[in-house]
Structure 1
Amino acid sequence: MIAPIGLIAGGGQFPLLFTEAAKERGRRVIAVCHQHETAPELEQRADTCCWVKLGQLGKIIKFFHSHGVTETVFCGTITKTRIFRDILPDLKGLSLWSKIDSKLDDGILRAVAAALEEEGIQVLASTGYLEHLLFPRGILGKRKPTDEQWADIRFGWRIAREIGRLDIGQCVVVREGSVLAVEAIEGTDAAIRRGGELAGSGAVVIKLKKPGQDFRFDLPATGVQTIETLASVKGAVLAVEAGQSLLFDRKAMIAAADKAGIAVVGMEDECHNAP
């Protein structure tokens, strides 16, 4: 019998897609769902489900042990600002939280993964069954960046890589060689809106993985919502690191970008595809 796989689910469609892919490969999915984050329909799609509040690590471990889970993945988003208002850790979670010096994304997630692995639960890469969702290389839609926008992409790429190295965020918004917004705890859409409003129009958005990004969690992700947000501030370009981030609803995203006149580019480094 194939062993079950655990799923620690946040928000968005990624947990739903993972569940479907895992079950197609004969894996029973034992899902931990986060209140106010995870889509309710996951409860019907997973084989077994447990709802937790943010920080209830002990409850997660007990649930997985009771169902024979020795492998798990992290999928989906957690609203980062909830860390300051909604976290209700149990004793296990509180003990771990007190030991984490830096409350940056990687520090928290690596600490949780280490705690799970101490309990015999290995944390796997979230893309294991869904590699087809990785962002492709090249120009995805009808529109190509102008020479000036290519220059902004190269400029913003270096800035985004640096803020990633510092574990601040994964996205920057630039125009004409100026940094208009840097993503932090508020997330990509909020950063795009903030930077786009400053740009007036023509904002260029660059979204990269962090240097040394752990594929087990917190991969950059884009989709139709990203384009809609960029279109709402009359943005011009979305440049994403190919093969190192997730792309949801590819056809719908490209169609939305073409309709809004937004260039979408998948690049392997700051020079790839640039003239």
Structure 2
Amino acid sequence: MEFVLLTAGQNNFMVSETETIGLIAGGGQFPLLVAKGAAAQGNHVVVVSFKGHSNDDVHSVVDAWKELKLGQLSKLIDFFHENGVTKVVMAGTINKPKAFDIRPDFRAAKLLFKLATKGDDVLLRAATDEFESEGFKVVGPHVYVPQLLTPAGLLTKRAPSEIEQKDLAFGWKIAHELGRMDIGQCVVVREGVITAVEAIEGTDAAVKRGCTLGGKGCSIVKVFKPGQEDRVDMPSIGLKTVQEMKELGATCLGVEAGKSLFFDLDKSLEFADKNKICIVGLTSDWVQS
């Protein structure tokens, strides 16, 4: 195992162990950011990506990579062992409708057969247990990109109106109840009426459906599922969603603070302020105030 000196103040140094991180990469920019963040901390990074699901840009910033089909669990584990991986990180999106076309290998099929349900949290917990049974330590991607965690409190210039604040509180309650059932992380609310809940379609599609049904003035709430495995499935949001809110006439966004990832936060807040959209990093204290 190698060691790297990291600066900690003007004349002080701390020693950090260099490890090999096995990154399981889905789509979007997140895997690329995690790979860069892990490398910046002095780690070696190897990646497994999936045909039709992953962002291939991540291949250019890692030490080794392998592209597999979704469900090839044995080959994934073998690749990590061959490259001396000690920690496993999962980052990025998987197209859920496409995932129904999965052709699992024997090991993956055996794992799936044991599960009573196939919700996101159940599947990810099972995957985590499987990796740890092989001696890998599963860690959350936010360890390598802590700057992406959503800050708490009012993030935009405009505060929520009285109606929006009530909708955020109501959405917070409903979204957490849905999360307990491992259904989704996001709801759309308009004046105390739930116009959409997120399921397999994902956040952006749920927001579009909810705002189409609810009309202008909808609020969107996205939370961390109670009991959710934060090492492998933190909720995320970004500039694209905020831009779609403007197009759809949505006026307020609440995202659970400290337990969600906010991509392009500065650009999102600038866009929101320009278009009078309110964004809040939600906490239980804020909702109850």
CA distance in 2, matches of 1:55, 1:262: 41
Aligned to 2:66: 50
Contact 1:174/1:203 (<8 A) preserved: yes
SS in 2 for 1:136: coil
Q: Which among 223, 243, 258 is matched to residue 208 of structure 1? A: 223
Distance 1:274 1:142, change over 3 A: farther
Percent of matched pairs sharing the same residue: 45
Aligned to 2:8: none
Contact 1:126/1:215 (<8 A) preserved: no
Are 1:93 and 2:93 counterparts?
no
Are 1:232 and 2:247 counterparts?
yes
Aligned to 2:45: 29
How far the C-alpha of 1:273 sits from its partner, in A, is: 6.6
How far the C-alpha of 1:175 sits from its partner, in A, is: 0.7
Are 1:65 and 2:81 counterparts?
yes
SS in 2 for 1:232: helix
Are 1:272 and 2:286 counterparts?
yes
Residue type of the alignment partner of 1:153 = L
Contact 1:16/1:42 (<8 A) preserved: yes
Are 1:139 and 2:154 counterparts?
yes
Distance 1:273 1:172, change over 3 A: closer
How far the C-alpha of 1:230 sits from its partner, in A, is: 1.5
How far the C-alpha of 1:242 sits from its partner, in A, is: 0.6
Extract unaligned runs of 5+ from structure 1: none
Aligned to 1:182: 197
SS in 1 for 2:141: coil
Are 1:111 and 2:109 counterparts?
no
Report the number of matched residues: 273
Deviations 1:149-208 (A, max 9, x none): 111111111101100111100000011111100101111001100000011100111100
Q: TM-score, normalised by structure 1?
A: 0.96
Aligned to 1:217: 232
Q: Runs of 4 or more off by more than 6 Å in structure 1? A: none
How far the C-alpha of 1:118 sits from its partner, in A, is: 1.2
Residue type of the alignment partner of 1:81 = P
Please provide the CA RMSD for this pair.
1.3
